[in-house]
Structure 1
Amino acid sequence: MSYEFEGNRYDCGSKFGFLLANVEYGLLHQEIKSEFAAYLQQRVSKI
């Protein structure tokens, strides 16, 4: 049996996939998305 869905799929069995899934979740979460996005922007500016 299969299930067709729309959206993104992340390989949470890998460290990178797990990290990507958590970043995406944080950016979609209504309570923390603004604060998290600001953190990411500040952090990226230091790279």
Structure 2
Amino acid sequence: MSGPDAIDGIFLILECLVLFINLCERGYEAYKAYKARKEEKKRMKARMA
């Protein structure tokens, strides 16, 4: 493996890490939105009762 190949491999790994982090971030934001919606439904139910 020559120098440029090694550098390309490192960049590929870093790009994969960035994509994974972005995916986790979006998943966490979706989870927070879902949790807030669920909490709001629970509050509305409590008001109705």
TM-score, normalised to structure 1, is: 0.36
Larger helix proportion of the pair: 2
Higher relative contact order (CA 8 A, sep 6+): 1
